[in-house]
Chain A
Amino acid sequence: DQQVKQNSPSLSVQEGRISILNCDYTNSMFDYFLWYKKYPAEGPTFLISISSIKDKNEDGRFTVFLNKSAKHLSLHIVPSQPGDSAVYFCAASGISTGNQFYFGTGTSLTVIP
């Protein structure tokens, strides 16, 4: 059962525009949400996180929004740059769900110069 879902397998955005990547989850007990970025032949790298007590966290060009009532989070990248082209995974965990993070299937972002 996929507890974290990324329904868009791919996204293309023009350089300089905003990229919005979406993620939905089913388990209301999740407390922590993370976004990872993955380049080909490399492991995922941590990008940004948010805890369930917040609805927004910003780090430079990256902002994560959390809507707990809708069980939805999104990652905004603005302005998008060609170097942002990668696969983005969202992940969720909680005190009650143990030590593992549940990952989505990823969204492949292409930023067109």
Chain B
Amino acid sequence: GAGVSQSPSNKVTEKGKDVELRCDPISGHTALYWYRQRLGQGLEFLIYFQGNSAPDKSGLPSDRFSAERTGESVSTLTIQRTQQEDSAVYLCASSLSGGVLRGYTFGSGTRLTVV
């Protein structure tokens, strides 16, 4: 597609349940990033993919968080045993490698609410 697509756009889940968030990057973009934005805070880096590999997972806040990417395309961010502090907007972005000054293209995000 023309842009980065994320689904679902909104997700309400009960504390303790698992959730999966999906990202479809721009075709041909080899780099893919997950960020999250909690209320009143800046964007917080979670994980970076180059192709299907994740050389930088340093931002994942706990072992309840995991992500994978397949076919150098779709990525899934999974949060197990969700907690209320996981409530945030989860943003996916993609870019061409080496294009740091061109910035990323972000999706519209998934708003996750844990009740």
Residue numbers of A with Cβ under 8 A of B are 2, 4, 6, 32, 34, 36, 41-47, 49, 51, 89, 91, 93, 98-106
Interface size on B, as a range, is 20 to 34
Nearest 10 interchain pairs by C-beta: A46-B103, A43-B106, A100-B45, A103-B43, A103-B42, A105-B42, A49-B101, A99-B48, A43-B108, A44-B106
Residue B41 at the A interface, CB < 8 A?
yes
Cβ contact within 8 Å between B105 and A46: yes
Chain A residues, CB < 8 A from B100: 32, 93
A101 to B34, CA, bound (A): 11
For residue A44, which residues in chain B have a CB less than 8 angstroms away from its CB?
Answer: 43, 91, 106
Q: How many A-B residue pairs have CB under 8 A?
A: 65
Residues of B within 8 A of A (CB): 4, 31, 33, 35, 40-45, 48, 50, 55-56, 58-59, 91, 93, 100-109
- By the criterion CB–CB under 8 Å, are A2 and B42 in contact? yes
Contact of A51 among B101, B104, B109 (CB under 8 A): B101
The answer to whether A101 and B45 have CB atoms under 8 Å apart is yes
Of B45, B58, B108, chain A has the most CB atoms within 10 Å of the CB of: B45
A105 touches B41 (CB 8 A): yes
Q: Quick one: closest B residue to A45, CB to CB?
A: B106
